[in-house]
Structure formats: structure tokens, C-alpha cells
Amino acid sequence: MLELWSPQVRHGLWRRLWLALAEAERELGVPIPEGALDEMRAHVDDIDFAAVAAYERRFRHDVMAHVHAFGDVAPTARPYIHLGATSAYVTDNGDLIQMRRGLGLLRDKIVAALRALADFAREWRDLPTLGYTHIQPAQLTTVGKRATLWMQDLLLDLRDVDHRMSTLPFRGVKGTTGTQASFLAIFDGDHEKVRELDRRVTAKMEFATSLPVTGQTYTRKLDAQVLDVVSGIAASAAKFASDMRVLQAFGEIEEPFEKEQIGSSAMAYKRNPMRAERINALARFVQSLEPNANQTHAVQFFERTLDDSANRRLAIPESFLAADAILVLLTNVAAGLEVHPARIRRRVDDELPFMATEEIIVRAVRAGGDRQAIHEVIRGHSVEAARAVKDGAPRNDLLERLAGDAGFAALGVSLDDLRLTLDPARFVGRAPRQVDEFLAEEVGPVLAAHALGDAAREEVRV
């Protein structure tokens, strides 16, 4: 990702765009010598940035500095470089190419994260754990099922990435205010040749379509649409990281911690979720840039203004770079999660008698009890049992309290009957099967279609 947003790649794309324009103009009858194109092809990547900087100090114009530097190494092509174009021809089209490639790189890393999370979900598919609503204990789920929720978000992001990559249009060849007047002059008023020029350059740069109309620049709504996808990836990762920070606080699951890693300079015992915290920090940054793109789009008066330029040079690359780092971190954490089943079970046991109360009500009613009266008895004992646990009781004794209640004793519901309700596996519903189905039907095809690439091997550098 760093390479993609480097000056070398950015300005190499400019030269490729100038070459594509000159090739298409020659194909349509502009008398550009083949030797000029050969010179351009020979020098698309050997950019003399010192020469560019010298020209820019003179001209105070980055595109013209690159035009002159390109002309120095392709002198035969000098009269034809940038013929009919405006600066946005290279800057805008280049940005679209970089954004589409950037989405492809993020896609690879989403798949790497899905692969790590799928392994985790499969391993822990049936381990019961407390579910939470309102960050309060709720009915049980499984550790693996919770991981499918994180994966579901990433799959939705993946679909957004694929849609945006497949539909992102090229700016094309549109001229200074989008009217293509300069190209109409080059082709002596031949409108069809101007349209064909746009089609050919678009195809040469490997885009299926170009925007049918533009001002000087492509509509900045495209930036907002792309950064919406990037921001969505960051939000999904932040949800995962937030859950992990809470689970680590509970002591149930912890992010990787290296043998000599130090959690705190003062508190030697600390093991902080610093990777998850870094994901949240970067995600907040990425999400802050998404509305910025819409704000920029909203103030592009008429055919364009220049207050977008400096803003976009920061916002777009930084969004992609930060999202890339987020996904590296997410994959690293997911691949090294440490699960503590004993701690999970202790926390389940603290709440399990409460989870069983619905079934206890049913058993009591079958034994002849009044549902409303039983509910009130259970409510009263539940409040007292919960208070006792909070005040230091070694365990939740709700069942003993109910078994000792005169009303329950009269119904013949024994303590052994009540204890039969406390197998955690009875309370996870279809969670283990949901994990199996989700991995087979949703995640599996994605992983099968995508080879394990370099994204899975990137190192987290603390």
C-alpha cells in the first residue's frame, strides 16, 4: 500500500496516461511519429525527481513540471505530450486507478482476516459463553458463533469492495471544463472521433466505462463513495477490536502477547490489549475522513474549485494506508487469540441459574403451579442471589434458594430436578450448527476463490 501511494507509482501513472492519450490520438489520425511513442514507452518509470523539483520551483505547477521532465527524456514526443489535455486528465484518472488498486489490496487483506477468523470459529464452534445485550449477561451463545458476527461484517465489506471496484468509472478524456472542446479542435470538429478517443483511452487504462460527463474533474462523489467503503472496513474492524478489549477485561479471550512484551512501564503485571486499541485508534481516524470527502464534494462550485486538491492528497492515501494497517492488525490478532475456557465457564456458571429460569417456570407449571406466582418467587430469589454474588458469595445459589422455597417444595420440584437444567450446551440453540453452515456456505467459497497471498504474512511492527 505504501508503494501504491508513492510518488514513483503516482507519477509513473501520469506518464502511462500521457502515453495512452498519444497512442489513441495517433490511432485516430493525429500525426504523432511512432518514434515519439517509442521514446515515451522507454521512459515511463525512470523519473528524474530532481529535475521535476527544479521545474516545479520555476513553474509552481506540478503537472507542467512533469510534462517538461518527460519531454527531456522523450524529446521527439515533447510537442505531443499532454496534447489537448488538462491537468485533471492525469491527476484524476491516476487517482481513480490508485483507488481501484487500493481497494484490491484491501480486499486481499479482508480475505486474510476472514481466513484467520474462520479457523478460530471452527475451533471454538461449540464452547458455550455468555451472550451480552446492553453489555449485560444474556442467553448463552458460543465463542465460535460470536466470531461469525465479526466475519459477517467483513463479508459485507468484501461485497462493497467488489461492487465499487467493478463499477468505478474512469474520468476519461474530457478537456478543461468537461466539454472536450480542445479535442474537438484536434479532430477538426469530428465528434465521433472525440468520443472514440475517450473510449480508447479508457480501454487502454483497463476501465470498462468512463463518466459520460464531467466538469474539469470527475465528480468528487466518487471519492465519497470509495471512502465510504474504506470507512466501512474500519468500522467492522473497530467492532471486533472493541469486543476483544471487553473480552480481555473479562479475562475470557486475550489478544497475542509476546514472550518479552511489556504491558506497562510501571505495572509489571499488566497485559494490555494494545493491538486492539491501535485498531480502534486508526479506525476512528479513517472514519473521520469519510464525511470529509462528502464535504469536499459539496463545495466544488460549478466545473471545479482547487480547494479539493490539498485535502484529497491527504485524505485519500491516508484512508487507504490506515485501513491497510488496521487489517494487518486484525489478522494478526485473530490468528493469535488466546481463549481461556475455565474463565469462560466460571462466568457462565455465575449466570447460568438465571438462564435456566424459563425452563424452571415451565417445569413448575407442569407440576401444577401458577405461572405468575412462580415467576414472582423466582424473581425475588434471583434478586437476592445476584446481590449475594456481588457481595462476595462464592457462587450463584439460586437453585438452592428455590429448592428450599416452600412453594417449590409443595410442587415436588427437587434440587436435582433443578440442576438438570444447568448444562450450558442446552442454552446455545443452533449456534454450533450456525457456525458450520456459515463457514461452509458463506466463508468457504470466498476463501476457496482466493489463494493465500502475501497479506497473510505481513508482520505487525510494534
Please identify every residue annotated as catalytic: 134, 264
For residues 111 and 155, give the distance between their C-alpha atoms in angstroms, rounded to a whole number.
9
Q: Which helix (H) or strand (E) holds 169?
A: none
For residues 218 and 221, give the distance between their C-alpha atoms in angstroms, rounded to a whole number.
8
Q: Which helix (H) or strand (E) holds 132?
A: strand 128-133
For residues 114 and 334, give the distance between their C-alpha atoms in angstroms, rounded to a whole number.
9
- 404: three-class secondary structure by DSSP: coil
For residues 169 and 59, give the distance between their C-alpha atoms in angstroms, rounded to a whole number.
32
The residue type of 261 is Q
Bin 131: left if φ > 0, else alpha if -120 < ψ < 50, else beta.
beta
Confirm if 144 and 437 have CB atoms less than 8 A apart.
no
Confirm if 322 and 234 have CB atoms less than 8 A apart.
yes
CB-based contacts of 273: which residues, under 8 Å, 6+ apart?
Answer: 241, 244, 245, 248, 254, 255
For residues 435 and 144, give the distance between their C-alpha atoms in angstroms, rounded to a whole number.
7
Confirm if 403 and 363 have CB atoms less than 8 A apart.
no
Q: Which helix (H) or strand (E) holds 406?
A: helix 406-411
Q: Tell me which long-range contacts 167-170 makes (C-beta under 8 A, separation of at least 24).
A: 168/96, 168/99, 168/100, 168/103, 168/207, 168/222, 168/226, 169/96, 169/207, 169/209, 169/210, 169/211, 169/218, 169/222, 170/93, 170/96, 170/201, 170/202, 170/205, 170/207, 170/209, 170/210, 170/211
What are the helix (H) ranges across 28-169?
A: 34-42, 49-59, 62-73, 87-123, 143-167
The residue type of 6 is S
